[in-house]
């Protein structure tokens, strides 16, 4: 399937704005350079909107949003008021579709595209672990697929050191059962982000994580017997 015919672009001016903001992370400088911020954000918004249209052909998106550039400094020792990136997400539509696509655009080779489940709630995490306790053939098949490996390398996420409560630490699937986060990201160089093909590569990356989202959706919308909860 061919994606993204119009090719919205991120330009070097957007990277320059972020770099300059990093060197002048204060409200006075930001106010003086508001026009540059608006232009940079506009490029990211064009990218967000275009890919949303393509995702709605391949998937169904309920919401697409760029995060605010303002940092929440209430509980941080770092009181810098602004983030050093433009980031956003696409929330999949409906209770049957779980997982959100995510991107963060930042110079210095720190741009990432992908998504996943950062903090599943208690019930969802238990359901996932119970699924892995029974069978990991599907998650292993998805994460060992060459397209997944090419884009992400491997599935990432933190986990407990031993075994979760009420699970056997000697279980053959314990490496999966231990996990409490599940996400995958692809990194991009600055040259790749500034290339006209970046839109296409973002879409390709989102489609590479789609089988994982669909699998997790199946797990999280059924009980342990595979009966629908919807």
Boundaries of domain holding 31: 12-220
69's tokens: 């550039």
Q: How far apart are CA 85 and CA 18, in angstroms?
A: 7
Given pLDDT bands bounded at 50, 70 and 90, which one contains residue 7? low
Q: Give residue 6's pLDDT.
A: 53
The values of phi and psi at residue 219, to 5°, are -65, -45
Average pLDDT in the 163-172 region?
96
Given pLDDT bands bounded at 50, 70 and 90, which one contains residue 4? very low
Average pLDDT in the 63-86 region?
94
pLDDT tens string 112-133: 999 999 999 999 999 999 999 9
Number of independent structural domains in the chain = 1
Does the pLDDT at position 3 exceed 70?
no
Does the pLDDT at position 188 exceed 80?
yes
Q: Give residue 152's pLDDT.
A: 98
> Does a structural domain hold residue 228?
no
> Does a structural domain hold residue 17?
yes
Which residue from 90, 60, 96, 101 is spatially nearest to 219, judged by alpha carbons?
A: 96
- Assign 47 to helix, strand or coil: helix
CB-side exposure of 105: number of CA atoms within 13 Å? Answer: 30
Q: Give residue 5's pLDDT.
A: 46
Q: Give residue 77's pLDDT.
A: 87
DSSP bridge pairs for 222? 228
Average pLDDT in the 154-171 region?
95
pTM score, whole prediction: 0.93
* DSSP labels, 145-198: SHHHHHHHSS-B--B-SS--TTS-TT-TTHHHHTB--EEEEEEE-HHHHHSTTH
Instruction: Work out the number of other CB atoms within 10 angstroms of the CB of residue 74.
Output: 6
> Does a structural domain hold residue 94?
yes
> Does a structural domain hold residue 227?
no
Please, which residues have CB within 8 angstroms of residue 147's CB and are 6 or more apart in sequence? 208
What is the domain-level CATH number for residue 182? 3.30.930
Q: For the packed helices 198-220 and 34-58, what is the interaxial angle rounded to 10 degrees?
A: 60
> Does a structural domain hold residue 148?
yes
């Amino acid at each position: 399937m061919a994606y993204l015919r119009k090719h919205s672009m991120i330009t070097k001016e957007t990277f320059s704005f972020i770099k300059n903001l990093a060197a002048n992370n204060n409200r006075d400088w930001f106010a003086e350079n508001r026009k540059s911020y608006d232009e940079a954000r506009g490029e990211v918004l064009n990218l967000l909107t275009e890919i949303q249209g393509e995702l709605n052909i391949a998937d169904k998106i309920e919401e697409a949003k760029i995060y605010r550039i303002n940092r929440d400094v209430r509980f941080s020792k770092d009181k810098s008021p602004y983030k050093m990136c433009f980031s956003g997400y696409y929330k999949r539509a409906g209770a049957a579709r779980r997982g959100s696509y995510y991107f963060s655009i930042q110079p210095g080779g720190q741009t990432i595209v992908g998504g996943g489940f950062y903090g599943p709630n208690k019930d969802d995490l238990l359901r996932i672990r119970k699924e892995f306790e029974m069978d990991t053939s599907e998650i292993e098949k998805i994460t060992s697929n060459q397209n997944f490996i090419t884009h992400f390398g491997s599935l990432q996420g933190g986990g407990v050191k031993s075994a979760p409560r009420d699970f056997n630490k000697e279980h053959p699937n314990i490496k999966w059962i231990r996990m409490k986060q599940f996400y995958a990201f692809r990194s991009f160089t600055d040259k790749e982000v500034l290339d006209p093909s970046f839109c296409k590569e973002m879409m390709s990356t989102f489609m590479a994580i789609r089988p994982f989202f669909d699998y997790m959706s199946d797990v999280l919308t059924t009980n342990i017997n595979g009966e629908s909860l919807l």
